[in-house]
Amino acid sequence: MNECYYDKRMDFFYNRTKTDTADEWTGPQLIGVLCFGTFFCLFIFISNSLVIAAVVKNKRFHFPFYYLLANLAAADFFAGIAYVFLMFNTGPVSKTLTVNRWFLRQGLLDTSLTASLVNLLVIAVERHMSIMRMKIHSNLTKKRVTFLIISIWAIAIFMGAVPTLGWNCLCDITVCSSLAPIYSRSYLVFWSVLNLVVFFIMVVVYIRIYMYVQRKTNVLSSHTSGSISRRRTPVKLMKTVMTVLGAFVVCWTPGLVVLLLDGLNCTDCGIQNVKRWFLLLALLNSVMNPIIYSYKDDEMWATMKRMICCSSEDKSQERRSSRIPSTVLCRSTDISGNYIEDGIIQGTICGKGDLGDKGNS
């Protein structure tokens, strides 16, 4: 029967896996990483708090997409908390941690990253449902959106707790990984492959959305005078898709590949030298999400600016916005605030009666 090591401190596992890089986080390098991390964590807290507050305050955002966007901001806010906890429990401190504290440190990271990833997937599906039906917003009710949000966090918490619940190497240290000394290598393979599969699904969803809108643009352009639409809509949508996918690829894929290589026990891949920098890339993803999904939306940005400046706009400006021509009001916001506009929207989306729902908000 294998011996279990629940009472050991992390130095036992770090020394056994020959993970000596923890001691290198000292002096200027550690200070630089802490300053870098602190700055971006503060930005994560402030920017995502503004996104949540804007969705709550502005009744025009009381739709499924924006509820999910607010939940994404909450997931990124939680990620900031996880990174703060990590910063105070990394470097030389790592070897002094108990097993339970180390599980808590990694569990917070896994939970936050899973919540962000699953939320991005749900947003992609919601946008797919809306655009395929040529509507501004999906038909999801508040109850269904609430159920989705609860499910996202349930999945995230469960995934963060899986190693603690038993999928670890405390009772079989021969299968311990190098990057996560008390995680089983098989769990790292499962974790990285699962996330890469979800990433692939998101790519497929976004490509399908783009191809559908481009095909619809070509069909409808001959029946409308929307020459601007013919030139700008496919380009703007492509920029949106490339921004979303590019940010995700850059911030997530390197770390997932490193975890996969560690799970496959690649001893000659030099993963110890790059692991912390890829973790910082994951941090940047939580920094970029508020920019990509919120700040490009003019009304979202205007709402946040009003909150920052602690002043409200004149009521006359709201009256002017209520008289915006239908070609502007009919703009369909995609996941990063770009629009499918002009003749295409006026001839299709407005004809579905969805504008009336938006106007009633």
- The structural domains of the chain, with segments of one domain joined by +, span 10-221+233-309
Compute φ and ψ for 267, nearest 5 degrees: -85, -15
Q: Which long-range contacts (CB under 8 A, 24 or more apart) does 200-205 make?
A: 201/121, 202/120, 202/121, 202/124, 202/245, 202/248, 203/245, 205/124, 205/125, 205/128
Beta bridge pairs of residue 339: 333
| pLDDT for position 158 | 95
Which pLDDT tens digit goes with each residue over 89-127?
877 788 889 999 999 999 998 998 899 888 888 888 887
Rounded to 5°, angle at Cα 71 from 137 and 45: 130
Q: How many CB atoms lie within 10 A of CB 347?
A: 15
Q: How far is CA 148 from the centre of its chain?
A: 15
CA geometry: angle 313, 316, 322, nearest 5 deg: 100
pLDDT for 321: 47
Tell me the C-alpha distance between 134 and 137, whole Å. Answer: 9
Strand blocks (E) in the chain: 332-333, 339-340
| pTM for this predicted structure | 0.76
| Side chain identity at residue 41, one-letter code | C
Q: What is the largest CA-CA distance in the chain?
A: 77
β-strand partners of 184: 176
Please tell me the distance from the alpha carbon of residue 51 to that of residue 46, in angstroms, as a whole number: 9
DSSP assignments along 84-136, one per residue: HHHHTT-GGGGGG-BHHHHHHHHHHHHHHHHHHHHHHHHHHHHHHHHHHTT-S
pLDDT in tens, 208-226: 877 877 777 677 665 555 4
Of 1.20.1070.10, 1.10.3720.10, 3.40.640.10, 3.40.50.720, which CATH number belongs to 10-221+233-309? 1.20.1070.10
Pairs from 73-76 (Cβ < 8 Å, separation ≥ 24): 73/47, 73/48, 73/49, 73/289, 73/290, 73/294, 74/48, 75/112, 75/115, 75/116, 75/119, 75/152, 75/156, 76/44, 76/48, 76/112, 76/116, 76/286, 76/289, 76/290
DSSP class of residue 63 equals S
Q: Are 64 and 138 in contact (CB under 8 A)?
A: yes
Please provide residue 184's backbone torsions phi and psi, each rounded to the nearest 5 degrees. Answer: -70, 145
Give the span between the Cα atoms of 85 and 185, in whole angstroms. 24
Distance of CA 241 to the CA centre of its chain: 14
Extract the residue ranges of the chain whose pLDDT is less than 50. 21-22, 226-231, 233-235, 237, 311-316, 318-361
